[in-house]
Structure 1
Amino acid sequence: MKRQICLVVPTNRECTATLAEVMAEAEYAKRHHDVDVRLLVLDSSDDLTAHAKVLAGARDALHLDESQQRDFLRQVVGHAEVSEPGRLLDLLLPRKPSYGACTNRAFLIAAALGCESVHRRDSDLYFQTYAGEKIFPIHIELSALGRPARDVVTTENILDDSRRDMPVAMVGASFVGDMSVDVEDIRDADGYYDLVSLWAAPGSTEAEKRALVEDSFTGSAPFEGDHSVLSVVDPMRVDMHNISFHGLHEKVPLPPATDTIGSDYFLIHVADRAGLPGVLHNRHIVNFHTAERKSDAGFLAYQMRFAKFILSMYYFHYIYDRMTTDDPKDISAIVRESTWQPRAGNEAQAHLMEQAYRRLGGRFTRVADRIREQRDTLLFEARRDIEDYADLIDAWEGLVAAARETPLPHA
């Protein structure tokens, strides 16, 4: 029987061109690997009809709007017999945008479809072309994901011998093109370092902060031939729109934080801190910024998501520093402990962040004003998001088991 895999695109924007690219990747996987590909599109956009027309040409595509996703999740939550089912449903499908929650939905739907791995792409990408051919990441992902590390062939192998009997849990790469966080317009501004360095870990030296700022959100070199490394993958080298998981996504969910960029990167850190085998390759996708993000409303919304990301790192640095396993119970306990920190440290971050935005001037002054106006709310939400995450981790095993037994009426 062929392996079942899930290739997923979450979207809240028009992305017909990207969908055509990912459809081609799915067909490539079927031709070159012994797999059945379920192409899953989780659609929260106003362009359902246009997307449906494109996807009509795809075999085994599953295109779900939010109401269809909610119907499925309501059944899963009911079958899991969790406490506070209404709250849990809100964490899986919140009213506000959530990068982590949309990917968690993909994980649960993949379980319902019987897929053993999830391969995520985003709606603002296309694939590189080299020697007249598209460079699809799924080629490397399927050659390694889920296999014992000792059997995986890569260009380099720097994995410790003690880990070579473990399965490869993650395969990923990065991007070329626009920066993954939309701060390119201010990269040469005086306040750029002041702002971006705020996500550095507590206790970082000045040299470490400058190295982090230089490396942050910048992507990698264009493709010039395959190169892959079997190792415990450095989280700074991979991006969530070019990532795949085997097994790990069924053990630990992603943070369901709303209006926060970076909330979907947690599993990359779990794989790193738990020492799980992974493959880092160079089939990077091409990232681009949509026009909506440059509008006044889109700009402000995005910068506030970046602000919440910085405030969330107060908790995530605590977690990453103490996490040594992929055991959900251990991780849940550490996540809860992180919320016991005095809020004063994050209050200081909020103040520095407001100052940094204000020094940038221009339209960034509006961001500084909004941070000042909503300071207490932002600090409260950053902590509440982490508390919500601990509860979701505790419920995740039951949710995945329930999803496996829940039919997808729209499949």
Structure 2
Amino acid sequence: MKRRICLVVPTNRECTATLAEVVAEAAYAERHFDVDVHLLVLDSSADFAAHAEVLGAARHVRHLDEATQREFLRRVVAASGTTGPDRMLDLLLPARLSYGACTNRAFLIAAALGCESVHRRDSDLYFQTYAGEKVFPIHAELAALGRPARDVMATEDRLDDSRRDMTVAMVGASFVGDMSVDVEDIRDADGYYDLVSLWAAPGSTEAEKRALVEDSFTGSAPYDGDHTVLSVVDPMRVDMHNISFHGLHERVPLPPATDTIGSDYFLIHVADRAGLPGVLHNRHIVNFHTAERKSDDGFLAYQMRFAKFILSMYYFHYIYQRMTDDDPKTISAIVRASARQPGEPNEVQADLMEQAYRRLGGRFAAVADRIRDERDTLLSEARRDIEDYAHLIDAWAGLVAAARETPLPHV
């Protein structure tokens, strides 16, 4: 029996060109590997009909609007028996944008489809071309994901011998093109370091902060032939729009934080801290910034998501520094302890962030004003997001088990 995999694209925007590329990637995977690819598109956009037309070329496709997703999730939550079903449904499908929540929905739907792995792409990408052929990340993913590490062939092997009997849990790469976080326009500005260095871990030296700022949100070299590294993957080397998971996503969900970039990167850190075998490859996607993000409204919304990311790192650094395995109970306890930290250090971060934005001037002054006006709300939401995450971790095993037994609504 062919193994079944889920290739997923969450979207809230028009992305017909990207979907056409991913349809081609799905077809490529089925031609070159013994797999059935279930292409899943979680579509919150106003362009559903146009997307459906493009997706008609895929062999197995699930194109779900929010109403269909909500109906499926309602059944899963009810079947799981979790306490506070209304709260849980809100964490899985919040009214506000959540990168983590949309990927968690993909994890549950993949379980319902019987897929053993999830391969995520984003709606603002296309694939590189090399020697006249598209460079599909799924080639590197399917060559290694879910296999015993000892059986994986790689260009470089840096994995400790003690981990060779473990399964490859994650395969990923990075990007070329626009910066993954839209701060390219201010990279040479005087205030850039002041702003970006705020996401450094507490206690970082000045040299460590400068290295972090230099490395943050930048891409990799263009593809020039396959290069793979079998190792415990450095989280700074991979991005969530070019990632795949086997097993790990069914043990630990992503943080469901709203209006926060980076909330979907948590599993990359779990794989690192738990020492899970992974493969880093160089089939990088091409990242681009949409026109909407450059509009006044889009700019302000995005910068506020970046601001909330900085405030969230106060809690995530605490967690990353203490995680040593992928046991959900252990992680949940650390997450809860993180939420109990005193609030004063993050209040200082909020003030420094407002000052950094104000020094940048121009349209960034409006971001500083918003941070000043919503300071208390942003701080309380950052803490509540962590408390919500612990609640979701505790319920996750039951949700995944229920999803496996819950048919998707007819589409």
How does the TM-score come out when normalised to structure 1?
1.00
Aligned to 2:240: 240
Sequence identity, in percent? 85
SS in 2 for 1:279: strand
Q: Tell me if 1:107 matches 2:103.
A: no
**How does 1:195-214 map onto structure 2 within 5 Å?**
195-214=195-214
Aligned partners of 2:55 and 2:316: how far apart in 1?
38
Unpaired runs of at least 5, structure 1:
none
Determine the C-alpha separation between the residues in 1 that align with 2:222 and 2:57: 30
Equivalent position of 1:282 in the other structure: 282
- RMSD of Structure 2 on Structure 1 (CA): 0.4
Aligned to 2:32: 32
Q: Secondary structure at the match of 2:37?
A: strand
Residues of 1 paired with 2:339 and 2:52: CA distance?
Answer: 43
For 1:174-189, list aligned pairs within 5 A.
174-189=174-189
Query: For 1:9, what is the secondary structure of its paired residue?
Result: strand
Is 1:190 the equivalent of 2:190?
Answer: yes
Question: 2:75 is matched by which residue type in structure 1?
Answer: Q
Separation in 1 of the partners of 2:409 and 2:291?
36
CA contact (8 A) 1:166 1:276 kept: yes
Q: Deviations over 1:97-138 (max 9, x none)?
A: 000000000000000000000000000000000000000000
Where do residues 292-331 of structure 1 align in structure 2 (5 Å cutoff)? Answer: 292-331=292-331
Which residue of 2 is the match for residue 363 of structure 1? 363
**How big is the shift at 1:77?**
0.2
Equivalent in the alignment of 1:165: 165
| Partner SS, residue 171 of structure 1 | strand
Kindly indicate whether residue 67 of structure 2 is the aligned counterpart of residue 46 of structure 1: no
CA distance in 1, matches of 2:212, 2:346: 20
Per the alignment, residue 372 of structure 1 pairs with 372
- Separation in structure 2 between the aligned mates of residue 239 and residue 410 of structure 1, nearest angstrom: 33
Shift of 1:56: 1.3
What's the CA shift string for 1:203-249, capped at 9, x where partnerless? 00000000000000001000001000000000000000000000000
The reply to whether residue 401 of structure 1 matches residue 385 of structure 2 is no
Please name the residue that 2:149 is paired with.
149
Match status 1:86 vs 2:65: no
Q: Does 1:336 align with 2:339?
A: no
Partner of 1:222: 222
Instruction: Give, as a single letter, the amino acid of the residue that structure 1 aligns with 2:389.
Output: Y
**Take 2:45 and 2:87, find their aligned partners in 1: how far apart are those partners?**
24
Is 1:21 the counterpart of 2:21? The answer is yes
1:67 aligns with 67
Equivalent residue number for residue 256 of structure 2: 256
* 3-state SS, counterpart of residue 314 of structure 1: helix
Once residues 59 and 345 of structure 1 are traced to their aligned partners in structure 2, the CA distance between those partners, rounded to angstroms, is: 52
Segments ≥4 residues shifted beyond 4 Å:
none
Tell me the alpha carbon deviations over residues 266-303 of structure 1, each in whole angstroms, 9 at most, x when there is no partner.
00000000000000000000000000000000000000
Shift of 1:185: 0.2
SS at match of 1:239: coil
List aligned pairs for 1:381-400, cutoff 5 A: 381-400=381-400
With the length of structure 2 as denominator, give the TM-score of the two structures: 1.00
* C-alpha contact (below 8 Å) 1:4/1:114 kept by paired residues: yes
Q: Is the 8 A contact 1:21 1:126 kept in 2?
A: yes
Q: What displacement does 1:340 show?
A: 1.1
Counterpart for residue 349 of structure 1: 349
- Distance (Å, rounded) in 1 between the aligned partners of 2:391 and 2:110: 22
Give the Cα separation in 2 of the matches to 1:58 and 1:162. Answer: 41
Rounded to whole Å, the distance in 1 between the matches of 2:314 and 2:72 is: 34
For each residue in 1:152-201, what CA deviation from the matched residue of structure 2 results, as whole angstroms up to 9, or x when unmatched? Answer: 00000000000000000000000000000000000000000000000000
The secondary structure found in structure 1 opposite 2:40 is strand
Cα distance, 1:409 vs structure 2: 2.4
For 2:56, the equivalent position in structure 1 comes to 56
CA deviations 1:348-375 (Å, max 9, x no partner) are: 0000000000000000000000000000
Alpha-carbon offset, residue 410 of structure 1: 2.6
| Residue 96 (structure 2) pairs with residue 96 (structure 1) | yes
AA at the equivalent of 1:340: R
Which residues of structure 2 form unaligned runs of 5+? none
- C-alpha distance in 2, partners of 1:49/1:167? 40
The offset of 1:59, in angstroms, is: 1.1
User: Residue 195 of structure 1 aligns to which amino acid in structure 2?
Assistant: L
Amino acid at match of 1:258: T
2: CA distance, partners of 1:377 / 1:387: 15
Which amino acid in structure 2 is aligned with residue 87 of structure 1? R
Q: What secondary structure, in the 3-state scheme, does the structure 2 residue paired with 1:4 have?
A: strand
Q: Is the 8 A contact 1:62 1:410 kept in 2?
A: no
Q: Distance in 2 between matches of 1:319 and 1:11?
A: 29
